[in-house]
Amino acid sequence: MIGVFDSGFGGLTVLAALRRHLPQYDYLFLADSARAPYGARSFDVIHEFTLEAVEWLFNEGCTLVVLACNTASARALRTIQQRHLPARRPDRRVLGVVRPSVEALAGLPPGAIPGVTQPSLTEGTVAVVGTEGTIASDSFGIELRKLAPRLELLQQACPLWVPLVEAGETEGPGADWFLHRYLDPLLAAPRPPRRLLLGCTHYPLLLPGIRRIVPAAVEVLTQGEIVATRLADWLARHPDHEARLTRGGARRIVTTDDPAWFAGASSRFLGEKLEVGRARLSPVA
């Protein structure tokens, strides 16, 4: 079973993309919505919360977990991969959204090795929009400088986009005003971007409006599609892990908050009525 974790609703867009591209597998989605958002929390707290979620998913039978959360991917993934898994869960894997997103932003093939695989877009300008916490962490910039140091990266925090999405205000003059507020400075840059990454899993719900504003020549990348296509490649390159995944096309969604509230508020992310269960996370010793 593949576990998908997010602190809130946005990871449902990643889950939807995974099920479109890889429908044969079973999925368990966990939202730590009782403690969301993660962005303003300290590094140690984000790591603690993320590790609790990962261990809960492992205990429920997941052999592979995708952190569909930019904050958790940027601030907790590496420590979990390098310290926790080798010591406690050597047979399990945890993947994130930042590295595959940056590979796509740079035009790199999946699993690219810095200095070996050359990007198709070796110079010019690319851009990322994200939450304040994600942009402040410079997680995309750090990874991009490793993979494609000649690319110029424009970064724009969009603090009001997530509230728009969670309020269901994704279309109309009000939404368009907030889209222009953050996109216009990027498009007016001396060297406008050739690719734009939506670096938050909420933002695909704003894609129609974004696409109306951004010139057609600019490629707009969404993390759900990136993660799904690159996970398919990862599984093909790791057949031992792929063979352990259960296949039944099942989907289970749980939250650490009230399930009825989460189901009502999150249905717009998948366009259907959701059945949601309750999860109780515990500290990891």
Of 117-121, 143-147, 256-260, 263-267, the poorest mean pLDDT is in: 117-121
Catalytic residue among 14, 15, 69, 226: 69
Query: How much is the pLDDT for 199?
Result: 95
Active site residue 62: no
Q: For the chain, give the longest Cα–Cα distance.
A: 53
For 146-157, the pLDDT digits (tens) are 888 999 999 999
Query: How much is the pLDDT for 257?
Result: 96
- Rounded to whole angstroms, the Cα distance separating 273 from 259 reads 12
Query: How much is the pLDDT for 48?
Result: 97
Query: How much is the pLDDT for 122?
Result: 64
Same fold yes or no, 2-96+225-278 and 99-223: yes
Q: Which residues pair with 129 in a beta bridge?
A: 156, 198
Query: How much is the pLDDT for 120?
Result: 53
Of 52-61, 232-241, 262-271, the poorest mean pLDDT is in: 262-271
On the question of pLDDT at 6 being above 90, the answer is: yes
For domain 2-96+225-278, say whether CATH 3.40.50.1860 is its number.
yes
Catalytic residue among 64, 164, 197, 200: 200
Fold of 99-223: Rossmann fold (3.40.50)
Mean pLDDT, residues 122-139 taken together: 89
pLDDT, greater one: 220 or 171? 220
Per-domain residue ranges for the chain? 2-96+225-278, 99-223
CA-based angle 263:80:48, to the nearest 5?
60
Q: 209 near 83, Cβ under 8 Å?
A: no
On the question of pLDDT at 268 being above 80, the answer is: no
Active site residue 158: no
Mean pLDDT, residues 35-46 taken together: 87
Q: Which residues pair with 153 in a beta bridge?
A: 126
